[in-house]
Amino acid sequence: MPAWDTVEAVQQVYPTTDAVVDSDPVDVYHGDLRPAPGTRPWVLMNMIASVDGATAVDGVSEGLGGPADRRMLGTLRGLADVILVGAETVRAEDYRLPRLPDDRVAVLRATSGRPPRPRLAVVSASLSLDTGSALFTSAESSDQPPLVYTSTAASADRRSALARVAELVDCGDGERVDLRRVLADLHDRGAAVVLAEGGPSLNQQLVAAGLVDELNLTVSPLLAGGTAARILSGPDLAAPVRLRLDRVLADDGFLFCRYLFA
């Protein structure tokens, strides 16, 4: 598989300094401290949205991105132990296993004792996943199969089919998967940093349960219009969640905002 694109220096616009600062995101993001909060991994949520808040164009996020955004995604994926994604996003975005990072990130992963690339974990209570999709057919012989966190309510037929191409883990007994149990299981497997890539419904559940530590939001220089979901989609939160802006980088019109949960 091809390597992720390397990230060229981008401008740091916040915090401001007396002079324009060009930063290497690999140094910046891989240098951040992400201590595991108790018995779960640090959860980093990454999303892209247009200036007017749309998270997709024609049903997928690709139309909002560009080379700068794809390079930043590679940087963030390179620091994760596990990428966590919902089944709806897997289907809509035609997910594949994570690609190998560029040489520099590969060295950072190796020296920290981590595998060459993060493992993919999918949340699907019903196991409505296509076993013939690229997610399951693009693996190399050395790859670990995707983890699929599901519910005991999933049908036996779906279980039998998915068990041949994925590692199934029961973390619920109804229509929803218990995300606390998911993160506890990932912690037990040695994951220190989990990158949550959505979609909005999974994001909503993670935030509502108080399970997110960091939000990386890419603001795309587009107005999309329409009724696309925001980065969170679901019932109103019990109260607004306060974030602290930690850093803003800019490249090719995109803003890369890092927020920490208060």
Q: Which tens digits make up the pLDDT trace of 236-255?
A: 999 999 999 999 999 999 99
Contact by Cβ (8 Å): 255, 248: yes
Which stretches in the chain have pLDDT values below 70? Answer: 1-8, 18-21
Cβ neighbors of 30 (< 8 A, separation 6 or more) are: 75, 78, 79, 105, 108
**Which pLDDT does position 21 carry in this prediction?**
67
Kindly report, residue by residue over 56-111, the tens digit of the pLDDT. Answer: 888 888 889 889 998 899 999 999 999 999 999 999 999 988 887 777 888 888 88
Domains and CATH numbers, the chain: 10-261 (3.40.430.10)
State pTM to two decimals: 0.92
What is the predicted pLDDT for the residue at 171?
Answer: 97
CA 63 remoteness from chain centre: 18
Cα→Cα distances 22→17, 19, 58, 243, 253, Å: 11, 10, 34, 25, 15
